[in-house]
Amino acid sequence: MRRLAVIALLFLAAAGAPAQTRDIAISAPPELVESGLMDYILPRFSLKTGIRVALAPNAGMRIAADPPGSPVFRRDGTTYYLRAGTDDKPARFRDWLRGEIGRRTVETFVPEDGGRFVAIAPARPEKPAPSFAGDPERGLALAREHCGRCHVVNQANRMRGIGSTPSFGMLRTLPDWANRFASFHARNPHGAFTRIAGVTPPFPIDRPPPITPLDLTLDDLDDILAYVATVPPADLGAPIQYQ
Ligand code: HEC
């Protein structure tokens, strides 16, 4: 008997949950609701995530025909924006809707009236330009002192560099110059004589540095990078053939 009652309770709990027990709510303009799109996408989202969404007039999360919000789809010249906020579940709805599956769901919906909806893919985030937080002036001074022994670091020391050593202007033409400078201490020939506090291992006892060691801190290196970022790439007149 008791077992039956428990089973019956389970059935009751599973049967159509009333709107108040939905996990989150969303509002949408009348033409969207009437198109049937919301009834089409919400259950599919719930099926995927287990998060139930109720359609409710004054919900905090909303789709609107004007910004702000994330553009999610358009139809007949109107773009619709989702304002989901930052709460976890609404944010998951936004991610789903803007993701591949959500977009495909929107586009497979065939309204009874009017054109179909076209999903809008989120813009790819722009690759942030490398930012060099260091102090370029200090970087120039450090570069002249430490790197200028071998490299032409700017016009002022152009006669002092070692002929076979690439100038900073020449290195600056390489697309990955920033990587190369940030890791110069690990690149030949610098490893044999460069020490960066807390980064480079001690020189091997049997192989002392062949020249006066070059001592820098990571902050110094940041400053040098900030300076190199200001160095105009050398005009070599021909495609680079360096390494
Ligand atoms: C003792 C001479 C010497 C000093 C000092 C020196 N370099 Fe170099 N550097 C070289 C030579 C030689 C090369 C070319 C190596 C090659 O072509 O294999 C080079 C190459 C480089 C490269 C390109 C490395 C690569 O693998 O692409 C960078 C970046 C560089 N140096 C940065 C610096 C910086 C920054 C300093 C100062 C903090 C410095 N160097 C100090 C001799 C020196």
Written as six digits, the tokens of 36 are 């049937």
Q: Whose CA is nearest to atom 22 of ligand 1?
A: 184
Tokens of 59: 């919900």
Place 190 in a pLDDT band, splitting at 50, 70 and 90.
very high
pLDDT single digits (tens) 149-163: 999 998 776 666 667
pLDDT of residue 15: 45
Cα 136 to averaged position of ligand 1 atoms, centre (Å): 19
**pLDDT tens digits for range 86-145:** 889 999 999 999 999 999 999 999 999 989 999 999 887 655 555 688 999 999 999 999
Is the peptide bond between 30 and the residue preceding it cis, with omega within 30 degrees of 0? Answer: no
Radius of gyration of the chain from its Cα atoms, rounded to whole angstroms: 31
**Nearest ligand 1 atom, CA 242:** 17
Beta carbons within 8 Å of 68's beta carbon, 6+ residues apart: 81, 83
Q: Could you tell which of 150, 193, 218 is best to mutate to test the pocket of ligand 1, judged by most ligand atoms within 8 Å of the CB?
A: 150
pLDDT of residue 133: 87
Mean residue pLDDT across the chain: 86
